[in-house]
Each structure stands twice: as structure tokens, then as C-alpha cells.
Structure 1
Amino acid sequence: HCSGYVQRHLYFYWQQPDTIVIERSNIILDGAGFTLQAASVDGIRIQYQSNITIKNLKVDAGPSSFGIYAYYSQNITIFGCRVYSSGTGVSIYYTSYCQIYENIIERSGIGISITGSEVESTGHHNLIRNNTVTSNSNYGIYLGGYRNSVYQNNVTGNDRGINVGIDFSNVCENIITRNKYPNGDGISMGTGIDGCNVSYNYVAENSWGLILGGGLGYCSSHIPNTLKGNVIVNNGLLNFVLSATGLNYHACTMRWMFQTRLTASQFIIGLKGRTILFR
């Protein structure tokens, strides 16, 4: 159950058992350090609203539920919260212009997830910064929207670190370590994405350091991705993986602008189902 206070409290309600549903815009929910303990349901749900702030709250939701769930909304701010034991800690679903910062997201399935669509113009311009995302059994941070930014987070001890699935994402200045079991990706980039910037990250002691997906088509028809200033060291299996298929291998290598440092450098290229290892 939750203690604390809610400004403009007439515009939220409890949904049994123990979900807070915010159904008006311009709301501030200040948990004052108390805990919302949901009984195997979502902790907080926001639907079709804007200008919502959730702060200073601990959320303990169920393993098949969302800790905090924003659905087709805008301008959601989440800070100073601790979310744990959820299916997904924070889910930004077809929601844009959010700020998620200075939170602890731990012991959930996925830590922070963004889902969006360029066709619907949703799931974009969200900022995830300065969070601790740890001990989650799936992705630490999953970017399924576009034009989102992930800065200065500590992503450690998850199954996977940061996954980027859609174009124009910025992943910069993060510390990504000890993401190991059972998959152990540090940073993984999806196939055929464009215009992403992956720079100045520290990626160490994961099973796999950095995995780049293959390109589609020719370089001239796409906006190149940038890989710059990263330190990728001491990852258990490989520091660097370049994955491609057939002729797309050439487009993939051209479309990545490499300016990074690989200590004890090693990388792997998959081509037509074969594996070519460079050390």
C-alpha cells in the first residue's frame, strides 16, 4: 500500500487490487519515500495523459506486471523512484517526451522499456539518464522506439545490458558491466537501423561487449551510425561482434563510422551462416 500525497488527488483512483491509475493530466504523485506494494498487478498506470510527475516512490509490483506503465501519453517524468520485483520496471509504451532519471530499477524482468512506432509518431524523444539498472533477468534497458537517448546510466548485473532496436538512438557515457547470464550482451544493436550514436560508453566484464547488427541495402541510401570513443574491454567471450548476412555485410561495415578503442581487440563477423573471427 502507498502513503504520501498526491497533488490534485481528485484525478486518480485505486484499481483493485492496489493499482494507482492516473486519468487526468498535470498531476504530481510524490511518494515521500513510501512503498506502493501491488499484489501481482501494475503499480502505477498512466493512460492518454500528459504532464505527469512521479517521484520519491518505491514500487513493488508483481512478476508479470509493470511497476510504472505509461500508455499513449506525453511528458511523463519519473525520478527518485525505486522499482523492483516487476515484470517490467518502467514501461514507456507508445509514449513520447518522457524523462526517466535518478531511479533504481532492479530485480525485475526488463528494467526500462520504450516501445514506439515511426508510423504512429509515438515512442520518441524520451530521455533515460543517470539511473542504476541492475539485477534484472532480461534487458536492463530496451529501446524499441526511435530518437530516444540513454545517457550516464549504470547498467550492471542484468541478463542483457542495453538493446537498441530502432533508428536515431543515442547511447552515450553509460557504464555497462557484468551483464552475463544467460545471454550477457553489453550493448546490442538491431539489424538495419540507421542514424544511431553509440559513444563514450564503458563496456566491460560482460559475456559479449558490443554486438552490431547487419545493414540493409547500400550505404548511400541510409544515414550512417556512429561508434566513437567507447572503451570495450575484458568481456568474457568477445569484445566486439559484427553480425551480417550475404551482401549486406558490405553495407553494414560501411554504415558504421568507427572511432573506438578495443583493448585486447577481437571481433567476429558472421557471413552467410559462417563465422569469421579476427583477433
Structure 2
Amino acid sequence: MKKMVSGVILTLFLTSILTSAFNIQSVRSTWAGTVYIHADGSIDPPDAPMITYDNVTYTLTDNITSVGDGIIVKRDNIVIYGAGYTLTGTKEHFYKGIYLSGRMNVTIQNINIQNFFYGIGLAYSSNNSITENNLSANYIYGGVRLDGSCNNSIVGNFFINNGLYVEDSYWNVVEDNTVNGKPLVYLEGASDTSVMEAGQVILVSCNSIKVENLSLLNTIDGVQIRNTNTTTISGNNITNNGKGARLYYSSNNNITRNNITNNDGEGIRLYSSLNYNGISRNNIANNWEGIAIRHASNHNSISGNNVINNGWGIDLYYSSNNRFYHNNFINNTQQVFIPTPGYTNTWDNGYPSGGNYWNNYTGTDANGDGIGDSPHVIDENNVDNYPLMGQLSSFNTTLGYSVDVISNSTIEHFECFKSNSTIVMHVSNMTANQTVGFCRVTIPHELIAPPYNITVNNAPVEYNTILENENLSIIYFTYEHSQIEIIIVPEHSLTMLLLMLSIITVIVTTLKRKRNLRFSR
């Protein structure tokens, strides 16, 4: 019996030792460090999990974890074959998965690369091939970064929660890649086309491209355009990216009606992009910076945007002669950041059109025109002379005209009926203790011609005419606050209604008299 017990104990002991040995082998299966492929073809350090028999093809034999760079390539005319192994970083600043500087004719194939500053970096390198790799969560400059690198091929790669970043790089072939399961759309030298589906969009030296109605999520840049003109970026949801939309050295582009939110860096960046880029009617919220305008990005128009809850609402750096108006700046940590003083921009559209709404503006409106009586000063060269007293909302109508409403109320519903020339708004108080509301409404005459009749909860109210010309009217009225319905109709509509009621009354009365006379006979 004792021998049997001893045998069982010995068996368990040996099993424990063997299990521990296998566990130790499992722990040691990932090699840690940086691998160098030197110009003479040698691999450093010698125990790195990489093998070559001809100093041409270098094959990984195990996974690599690195607290610095992963693989540094100093040799041309080679193939780095990953064999499906994984190269993992620690997301420390500036470290690269695989880095080529000044290299030619290097192929990188079938490697999983994750958690680096960027996965594969090419600096001033040409005629290289990056193919069939899995690149994930390389969080700053993406899965692949091209910097001053031309005539390279990036084909058949899978980008997960990162993408491609291109800087001063041209004549590259980028095909059959996906970002989060959707096509990586890279166009160079293209004109007059539309992007139909994409996980990321990159345009280089293009003209007249339409990027519309896409969902661009969890990539490095939702949209990146360089040396590209007359392009429209409209109606897209660009969220949870490294950056939202970035324009470099580009002119006459239009970024409008996009939802650009929760990006780690800028919602929109203009860099050396001048002459009539328009940024309008976007919702730009919860980004590190709302709109960054940098390095001689001059003569651009920024209007009608909601810039809300960003770190910096606007970041202006060495840029001037831009015009900002009809934007709502709300609860940004700093509404406008200008680290380079002396550059003058315009912050309104004149009177009575007005400037911007600033939720930290403390001025008053004694004359009741919806515009503050004192300027909003950003610095001595940047002043909003006509700050708005309420948020501006712009509503499209079926006829293609917009109705702009400036109000200190919450506009819950808006409709414009052309059939009977009527505007209907449902509004409520914006804060619990608000007792008086106002609306300043800009009405195109093609929709409703003046004069107007205005009712609030069916009671008529008076209005002031701020401006009336051949094209439009700007009117202003106030009301006591609660949940209310506002109706605006042409004055003749009410007159015609009363006239019709009078005619109907006369007809009915006459018929009754004739009927009574007949019965009396």
C-alpha cells in the first residue's frame, strides 16, 4: 500500500515538473528586443528570431515584443517575410514596428504589426513593397507612414483601427487594402469622380472629387487630402479617429454638413491651405481641437459650424485673413487659441448679418437686434464686432432656400410650408429660470414675402424689421417663455382668411334669411 501511494506521489511530481517545463517554454516563446538588419546582411543581435540563408530573404521564426523599435532595416534589395508571426510594441512615443530610411527594393510581407507609434515607416525610400500584412492599433501615424517616399507599392494589407498616412510622397501604388473591413480609397492624380465606400480616404494631387455620405471611423485620418483642389467633403460621419479631416497645400475645397466628433486630435486641420476653402455647417464636437488653421492657411471661410466641447475651439497658427462668422462656440476649454500674435482675421460678416455666438460672451443687447452692443475681443488683432446673442440655426427648405434663426430658446421643431407660405417653430426655454425668449429670423422672399403676421401660441406679437431688401427680410421679436408654437405667415394670408370668413358668414346669414322667409309664407 505504501509503495502504491509512493508511486502515485512520484507520478504527480513528475507530471508537475513536465507541466512547469511546458509553461516555461510557453512564456519564453516571444522574443523581446529590437532587430537590426545591417547593410552587410548580418542580423543583430544574433539570437533574434529571424533567419536568412542568402542575405536576401529574412524570415521571422517567432513573435517579437519590443519596448523600442521593432525591426530597423539598413540593407536594400531584400525580402522580410513574417510567416504570420506578430511584432508587438508598447505604444510608447515615436517607436516604429519596421523602419526603412533611404532604402530601395525592400519587400515586407505577411507580418502582424501592432501597438506601435506607426507600424511600418518609409522615410525617403523608393521602389519598396508592403503586401499582405495585418496592421492594427498603431495609434499615431497609422499602420503605414510614407514620408518623402515615392514609387512604392502598398497592396493587399489589412488595417484594423489605424490606416495609411502620407506626407510629401507621390507616385505610389495603393490598391486592394482595407481599413476596418472597408476599402482604403487612395486616389492620386484623379479628377471628377466620387468615392462610393471607404474606411479611409486619401487624395493626392486630385481635382473635383466628391467624398460624401461615408462613415469613417477608428482610423488614423478619416480624410486626408494633399495638393488637391475643388473637392467636396459632405454629409460624412467622421468620428473616433486620430484626426478627422486634414487638408495640406489645398485650395477651393468645401467641407460641409459633416459630423466630426470624438477624434483624438483635430476635427479639421488646414495646413498651408489657402484661398477659398470653405468649412461650413459642420458639427465639430468633443475633439482635442475643433478646427486647426496653421502655417499660412489664409483667405478661408469658416461659417455656420457648431464648435462644441473641444479642447481648443479654433487653433490659429501663422495664418491671417480668414473669415469666421455665424459659428456657435460653446463650452470649448479655450474658444480660440492664437499662439502667434500679430495675425489678423475677421470674426464677423458685418452688420446686420453679425458675427458668432460665444457662450462666454457677457454683453447685452439694449436695442433688440439680436447682436451684442459691445465687441467680443479675442486679442487686439482678432475681434468679433457683432457677437450674436443666441445660437444660430440654419434650416433647409424644400425649395433650396435656408431660413436662419438666431435665438436664446431651444428650437425643437421647424417647418416651412410653401403651399400656404407658413413657417412653424416649436421652441422651449433653454434654461429652467429663463422667462423671456427672442428669435431673429432671416427669411428669403422667395419663400415668404413681407409683411408678416406672427403668432405665439395663437396670440399675435409685434416684430421689428432689422433689414429688408429685394431678396430677404431679417425680423426680431420676443415672447414670454414656456413651450410655445410660433407661426409666421404673410400679412395678406391673414387678411384673405378674414375676408373669406366674412364672405362665408354673409352667405350663411343670407341663406338662413331666405329659408326663414320661405317657411313664414
TM range (shorter): 0.5 to 0.7
Query: Structure 2 CA distance, aligned partners of 1:246 and 1:155?
Result: 27
Deviation of the 1:163 alpha carbon: 9.7
| Counterpart amino acid of residue 59 in structure 2 | D
Question: Which blocks of at least 5 consecutive residues in structure 2 are unaligned?
Answer: 1-29, 32-39, 201-214, 262-267, 284-299, 303-321, 328-393, 397-521
Larger radius of gyration: 2
Deviation of the 1:149 alpha carbon: 3.0
Q: 2:260 maps to which residue?
A: 237
Query: Structure 2 CA distance, aligned partners of 1:74 and 1:49?
Result: 5
Q: Would you say the 8 A contact 2:41–2:55 is kept in 1? A: no
Q: Would you say the 8 A contact 2:159–2:179 is kept in 1? A: yes
Aligned mate of 1:188, from 207, 214, 224: 224
Q: 2:335 maps to which residue?
A: none
Q: 1:248 maps to which residue?
A: 275
Q: 1:41 maps to which residue?
A: 68
Aligned mate of 1:270, from 301, 311, 322: 301
Deviation of the 1:54 alpha carbon: 2.9
Which one has the bigger helix percentage?
A: 2
Deviation of the 1:245 alpha carbon: 8.8
Q: 1:93 to 1:54 in 2, by over 3 A?
A: farther
The superposition leaves residues 7-27 of structure 1 with CA deviations (integer Å, 9 ceiling, x where unpaired) of xxx9332249969799xx952
Q: 1:53 maps to which residue?
A: 80
Aligned mate of 2:150, from 124, 130, 142: 124
Q: 1:179 maps to which residue?
A: 217
Query: Structure 1 CA distance, aligned partners of 2:273 and 2:56?
Result: 52
Q: Would you say the 8 A contact 2:159–2:178 is kept in 1? A: yes
Query: Structure 2 CA distance, aligned partners of 1:243 and 1:276?
Result: 19
Q: Would you say the 8 A contact 1:179–1:186 is kept in 2? A: yes
Query: Structure 2 CA distance, aligned partners of 1:275 and 1:16?
Result: 63
Query: Structure 1 CA distance, aligned partners of 2:199 and 2:221?
Result: 13
Q: Would you say the 8 A contact 2:258–2:282 is kept in 1? A: no
Query: Structure 2 CA distance, aligned partners of 1:247 and 1:77?
Result: 38
Q: Would you say the 8 A contact 2:247–2:273 is kept in 1? A: no
Secondary structure of the residue aligned to 2:127 is coil
Q: 1:87 to 1:237 in 2, by over 3 A?
A: closer
The superposition leaves residues 125-172 of structure 1 with CA deviations (integer Å, 9 ceiling, x where unpaired) of 112222221224xxx211112222322322249xxx9899xx8699x8
**More relative contact order, 1 or 2 (CA 8 Å, 6+ apart):** 1
Query: Structure 1 CA distance, aligned partners of 2:222 and 2:115?
Result: 22
Q: 1:245 to 1:143 in 2, by over 3 A?
A: closer
The superposition leaves residues 98-134 of structure 1 with CA deviations (integer Å, 9 ceiling, x where unpaired) of 1112211112223211111xxxxxx101122222212
Deviation of the 1:211 alpha carbon: 5.3
Deviation of the 1:237 alpha carbon: 3.5
Aligned mate of 2:164, from 141, 144, 153: 141
Aligned mate of 1:101, from 106, 131, 139: 131
Secondary structure of the residue aligned to 1:150 is strand
Between the two proteins, the alignment pairs up a number of residues equal to 220
Identity of aligned residues (%): 19
The superposition leaves residues 73-110 of structure 1 with CA deviations (integer Å, 9 ceiling, x where unpaired) of 11111121100121221111211111112211112223
Query: Structure 1 CA distance, aligned partners of 2:170 and 2:274?
Result: 26
Query: Structure 2 CA distance, aligned partners of 1:143 and 1:127?
Result: 13
| Counterpart amino acid of residue 159 in structure 2 | V
Query: Structure 1 CA distance, aligned partners of 2:325 and 2:96?
Result: 39
Q: 1:174 to 1:76 in 2, by over 3 A?
A: farther
Q: Would you say the 8 A contact 1:84–1:108 is kept in 2? A: yes
Q: 1:215 maps to which residue?
A: 250
TM-score norm. by structure 1 comes to 0.57
Deviation of the 1:235 alpha carbon: 5.9
Query: Structure 1 CA distance, aligned partners of 2:72 and 2:272?
Result: 41
Deviation of the 1:60 alpha carbon: 1.2
Query: Structure 1 CA distance, aligned partners of 2:49 and 2:189?
Result: 34
Query: Structure 1 CA distance, aligned partners of 2:176 and 2:326?
Result: 33
Q: 1:151 and 2:181 equivalent?
A: no
The superposition leaves residues 201-227 of structure 1 with CA deviations (integer Å, 9 ceiling, x where unpaired) of xx96423976555636xx9xxxxx9xx
Query: Structure 2 CA distance, aligned partners of 1:112 and 1:28?
Result: 21
Query: Structure 1 CA distance, aligned partners of 2:271 and 2:41?
Result: 51
TM-score norm. by structure 2 comes to 0.34
Q: 1:235 to 1:75 in 2, by over 3 A?
A: farther
Q: Would you say the 8 A contact 2:161–2:218 is kept in 1? A: no
Q: 1:62 to 1:115 in 2, by over 3 A?
A: same
| Counterpart amino acid of residue 58 in structure 1 | T
Secondary structure of the residue aligned to 1:248 is coil
Question: Which blocks of at least 5 consecutive residues in structure 1 are unaligned?
Answer: 3-9, 117-122, 220-224, 226-233, 254-265
| Counterpart amino acid of residue 259 in structure 2 | G
| Counterpart amino acid of residue 63 in structure 1 | K
